Amino acid sequence: MQITLIPIRPEDIQTASDLLFEASEWAPRTPVNMDPVPILFAQNSVWLTAVTEDKEVVGIVGVHGISFPDRSGELACGVVPKWRTQGLAKTLADLLHTYCFDTLNLHRLTSTCLQDSPMSKVAFACNLVLEGRGCHSRFKNGEWLDTLSFALLNPREV
């Protein structure tokens, strides 16, 4: 199956919003009144829809908090429930990395997430470098969890 990233379409906004809201469950800090829509429309973010050859949506990826002077941004990746457990998160993340380096000309990508979260598993699978750990940063389901900070540099510039 071939996956392509396309600019997010109006009909994809609800899916993106749902995936971002779901991801907030694994945010490094407990979200309060998390409304994903402003994140999707922030000027310093780029969001893309991942589609199959038949244009079926398999996920949403994006980079937010982009600093063009520093050429850096924070990664986000979500897979539609129907397509989960098929290894697509790594595929989508790899496509996003390529897009960020080749199209946006970014130098550094980061991912900040909770230990054992879906995003941390993707970060490890994509060989992002674990740069730091914030110990006991979020209390979730009766236990303290650490925040993990990952980064990936543009391979053409290392």
For the segment 121-141, the average pLDDT, to the nearest whole number, is: 95
Q: What is the pLDDT of residues 43-88, one digit of tens each?
A: 899 999 999 999 999 999 999 999 999 999 999 999 999 999 999 9
* DSSP codes of every residue in 25-75: GG-SS--SS--SHHHHT-TT-EEEEEE-TT--EEEEEEEEEEETTTTEEEE
Residue 146: what residue type? D
For a pLDDT cut of 90, what percent of the chain falls above it?
80
Are the CB atoms for 64 and 27 separated by under 8 Å?
no
Q: What is the pLDDT of residues 3-43, one digit of tens each?
A: 999 999 999 999 999 998 888 888 777 665 567 777 788 88
pLDDT band at 120 (very low <50, low <70, confident <90, very high): very high
Q: In the predicted model, is pLDDT for residue 113 greater than 60? A: yes
Nearest to 88 by CA among 55, 125, 113, 54: 125
Reduce the DSSP state of residue 139 to 3 states and report it. Answer: strand
Q: What's the pLDDT score for residue 33?
A: 59
Q: What's the pLDDT score for residue 31?
A: 62
**Tokens 């914030």 belong to residue:** 134
Torsion angles phi and psi, residue 34, rounded to 5: -70, 115
Q: CA 46, CA 67: separation in Å to the nearest integer?
A: 12
Number of helices followed by number of strands (H, E) in the chain: 4, 7
Q: What CATH number belongs to 4-29+36-157? A: 3.40.630.30
Q: CA 75, CA 80: separation in Å to the nearest integer?
A: 17
